[in-house]
C-alpha cells in the first residue's frame, strides 16, 4: 500500500447529507492535514463535528467530493475496504464508554490489534508497554473494564487506539468526562504517546482551554464558508 508521506488527510469539495431530501450537514471545499499535525477542531453542537469524524473514520461515505487518507481515496472504497482501512490505520477515542465493560483491560486493548490482524504476542507486548507508559498499573490488566474509574478507562482507550500504531488518531472530546486536574495530565500522555509514533491527531472539542496543546486550531464552521483553508504549518 503506497502511503503518501506528506498529506495525512485531504478533502476536496466534500459534501455529506443523511438523506437526499435534507440539506447537506457538511460541505467542505478544501482541507489538508499534514502528517504529524495535531489539529484542534471546535464548534457548537450540530455543526457537523461528529459527522466529520464518522467520514474520516470511514464509517459513512460522502455523497460528493474526494476524501483521501494517507493517499488512498476512501470515497471510492467499499464498506468492507473502509472497515479494514480503519482497523489498520485509524485509532478512535470517544468521549466516554470506550471499553467493552465485560472484557478485561488487556482484551479491550488487543481488540483493535485483532481487527488489524497484527501478531498477537507482539501486540500484547506493545499493549503492556503502552499501558505502563499511560501510568496504568500492571495489576489492572486482568480486571474487567467496568471496574475502572473514568480517568483510567480513558487512558486504556488511548492504549486501545494506539496499539496498532495508526497513522491517524481521531478523538471526540475524550476529556469531557474528566475533571480539570486530570484533564491536563491526560492530554499530556495522549500527545506524548501519539508523538512517539508520529501520529496525526484530529481532536474535536468545544473546550477551547485545550487549544494550547495543538499545532493548529480550526473552527468547523469556517471549513464550510471558506473556499480555501491553508495549512498553517
Partner 1 sequence: MLIKLARLSLWNRRATASLTLASLIISVALVLGIDHLRVQAKKSFSQTLSGTDLIVGARSGQLNLLLYSVFRIGNATNNITWQSFQELSRHSAVEWTVPLSLGDSHRGYRVLGTTAAYFEHYRYGQQRPLVFAEGKPFAGVYDAVLGAEVARKLHYQLGDELVLAHGSGAVNLHHHDDKPFRVTGILQPTGTPVDRTVHISLAGIEAIHLDWQQGMPIPGQTVSADAALQQDLTPKNITAILVGLKSRAATFTVQRQVNQYPQEPLLAILPGVALTELWQMLSVVENVLYLISVMVLLAVLIGMMTSLLASMNERQREIAILRAVGAGAGYLFLLIELEVLLLIVLALVGGVLLLTGSLWIAQPVLAEQFGLFIDINPLQPQTFYLLGGILGLAALMGLIPAFSAYRRALSDGLAQRL
d(CA 186, CA 136): 12
User: 75: which residues sit within 8 A by CB, 6+ positions away?
Assistant: 61, 62, 65, 66, 67
If one asks whether residue 59 binds partner 1 (CB under 8 A), the answer comes out as yes
SS3 label, residue 80 = helix
Which range in 63-71, 87-95, 196-204, 220-228 contacts partner 1 by CB under 8 A? 87-95
Contact 143, 105 (CB under 8 A): yes
If one asks whether residue 154 binds partner 1 (CB under 8 A), the answer comes out as no
Sole residue written with cell 499545532: 215
Which range in 5-13, 63-71, 114-122, 175-183 contacts partner 1 by CB under 8 A? 114-122
Size of the site for partner 1 (CB under 8 A): 31
If one asks whether residue 112 binds partner 1 (CB under 8 A), the answer comes out as yes
Q: Which of 17, 115, 141, 189 binds partner 1 (CB under 8 A)?
A: 115
Contact 161, 113 (CB under 8 A): no
Q: Is 156 left (phi over 0), alpha (psi -120 to 50) or beta?
A: alpha
Contact 56, 168 (CB under 8 A): yes
Q: Which of 7, 24, 29, 83 binds partner 1 (CB under 8 A)?
A: 83
Please, what is the minimum distance in Å from the beta carbon of residue 163 to partner 1? 10
Q: What are the cell numbers at 5?
A: 508521506
- Helix (H) or strand (E) holding 146, with range, is none
Contact 162, 126 (CB under 8 A): no
For partner 1, what does the binding mask look like between residues 174 and 213, x meaning CB under 8 A? ----------------------------------------
Which range in 1-9, 77-85, 124-132, 135-143 contacts partner 1 by CB under 8 A? 77-85
Check residue 61 and report its DSSP letter: -
Q: What are the cell numbers at 225?
A: 464558508
Q: Which C-beta is closer to partner 1: that of 151 or that of 166?
A: 166
Q: Which C-beta is closer to partner 1: that of 34 or that of 190?
A: 190
Q: Which of 92, 105, 131, 159 binds partner 1 (CB under 8 A)?
A: 92
Strand-strand pairing, 38-42 and 216-219: parallel
Residues that bind partner 1 (CB under 8 A): 50, 53-54, 57, 59-60, 79-80, 83-84, 86-88, 92, 94-95, 97-103, 107, 111-112, 114-116, 160, 172
Amino acid at each position: 500500500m503506497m502511503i503518501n508521506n506528506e498529506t495525512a488527510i485531504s478533502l476536496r469539495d466534500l459534501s455529506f447529507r443523511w438523506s437526499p431530501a435534507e440539506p447537506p450537514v457538511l460541505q467542505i471545499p478544501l482541507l489538508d492535514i499534514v502528517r504529524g499535525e495535531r489539529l484542534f477542531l471546535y464548534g457548537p453542537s450540530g455543526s457537523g463535528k461528529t459527522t466529520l469524524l464518522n467520514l474520516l473514520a470511514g464509517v459513512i461515505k460522502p455523497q460528493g467530493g474526494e476524501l483521501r487518507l494517507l493517499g488512498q481515496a476512501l470515497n471510492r472504497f467499499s464498506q468492507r475496504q473502509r472497515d479494514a482501512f480503519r482497523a489498520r490505520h485509524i485509532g478512535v477515542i470517544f468521549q466516554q464508554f470506550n471499553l467493552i465493560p465485560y472484557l478485561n483491560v488487556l482484551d479491550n486493548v488487543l481488540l483493535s490489534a485483532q481487527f488489524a490482524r497484527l501478531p498477537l504476542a507482539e501486540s500484547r507486548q506493545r499493549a503492556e508497554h503502552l499501558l505502563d507508559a499511560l501510568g496504568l498499573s500492571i495489576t489492572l490488566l486482568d480486571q474487567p473494564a467496568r471496574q475502572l474509574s473514568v480517568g483510567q478507562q480513558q487512558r486504556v482507550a488511548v492504549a486501545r487506539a494506539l496499539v496498532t500504531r495508526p497513522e491517524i488518531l481521531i478523538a471526540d472530546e475524550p476529556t469531557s468526562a474528566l475533571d480539570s486536574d486530570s484533564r491536563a495530565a491526560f492530554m499530556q500522555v495522549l500527545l506524548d504517546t501519539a508523538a512517539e509514533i508520529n501520529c496525526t491527531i484530529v481532536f474535536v472539542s468545544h473546550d477551547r482551554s485545550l487549544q494550547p496543546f495543538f499545532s493548529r486550531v480550526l473552527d468547523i464552521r469556517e471549513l464550510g464558508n471558506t473556499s480555501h483553508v491553508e495549512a498553517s504549518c
